[in-house]
Amino acid sequence: MVEPEDNAEKQHNSNGWRLVIDFEEGALKFMKQKYIINGTHQEIQSLSDKFVKSIGKPIEDEYFDSEKHIYCGFCNKYYEPFCREHPLFHYYEKNPTNEESTTLTAAEKTLPRVLSIRPSKLPGAGNGVFSKIFIPSGVVFGPYEGVKLFNAEKCAKEGYTWEVVDKFGSYFLDSSDPNQSNWLRYINCTRLWYGDKFGFDVIGQKEKALQNVFHAS
């Protein structure tokens, strides 16, 4: 994953690699500087040749290791460390200890500045997370935090549990306590109630972009 503090060797020649937002595709891309078009691409970061070449080794399904490999839903394949055609960028949440507010919960204090928490239109969903800006596909938030449990029945509230599957089996992260979790507890599934069933729909460009992020991650 491209890290914001990545000390990539800066390459200012036109053949150098850049991490860009492609606004036509609504996605992150690795691109040579000479192909960047003003208005279509927004440069985020310079990347070294060595770094770009190290990204995107295809992994056969039987060798998948959740610690090292990430699945690309566009290519339907695992890559080490992630797909070069569909790169990922980790957007870090705020450090809750830097927030002085005494009214916010620990989870609310971790909310990135580009997001807001407000009542969801989804039936029974409570609060949801909304983006104030366009977020391209490939931006990764998280990881999800909560109290680690191995018994699903002990999870306090439905809708506040995330199952994590690793090579040792699976466990659950219970985020029902907003002081033992982070802002990801407010994320809702992408669904709309049609009277007799839940379905997918376009809720709005910003919300859709946000959903794409979570699908992609």
Map residues 74-103 to x or -, x wherever contact with Zn ion holds by CB under 5 A.
Answer: xx-------x-xx-----------------
- Of 83 and 111, which CB lies nearer to Zn ion in the complex structure? 83
Q: What is the CA radius of gyration of the chain?
A: 19
The piece of 72-80, 101-109, 128-136, 190-198 that touches Zn ion (CB under 5 A) is 72-80
Task: Please state the closest distance from residue 86 (CB atom) to Zn ion, in A.
Answer: 4
Task: Please state the closest distance from residue 205 (CB atom) to Zn ion, in A.
Answer: 23
Task: Please state the closest distance from residue 76 (CB atom) to Zn ion, in A.
Answer: 8
Cα 96 from chain centroid (whole Å): 19
- Of 76 and 95, which CB lies nearer to Zn ion in the complex structure? 76
- Of 148 and 215, which CB lies nearer to Zn ion in the complex structure? 215
d(CA 37, CA 39): 6
DSSP secondary structure letter of residue 98: G
Out of 27, 70, 72, 139, which residue is the one contacting Zn ion (CB under 5 A)? 72
Map residues 29-68 to x or -, x wherever contact with Zn ion holds by CB under 5 A.
Answer: ----------------------------------------
Residue 192, C-beta contacts closer than 8 angstroms, at least 6 positions apart: 122, 198, 199, 200, 201, 203
- Of 19 and 72, which CB lies nearer to Zn ion in the complex structure? 72
Dihedral (CA of 59, 64, 68, 72) sign? positive
Q: Backbone phi, then psi, for 208, in 5-degree steps?
A: -65, -45
Secondary structure of 140-185 in the HEC alphabet? ECCCCCCEEECCHHHCCCCCCEEEEEECCEEEEEECCCCCCCCHHH
Task: Please state the closest distance from residue 85 (CB atom) to Zn ion, in A.
Answer: 5
Beta bridge partner(s), residue 161: 174
Footprint of Zn ion on this chain (CB under 5 A)? 72, 74-75, 83, 85-86
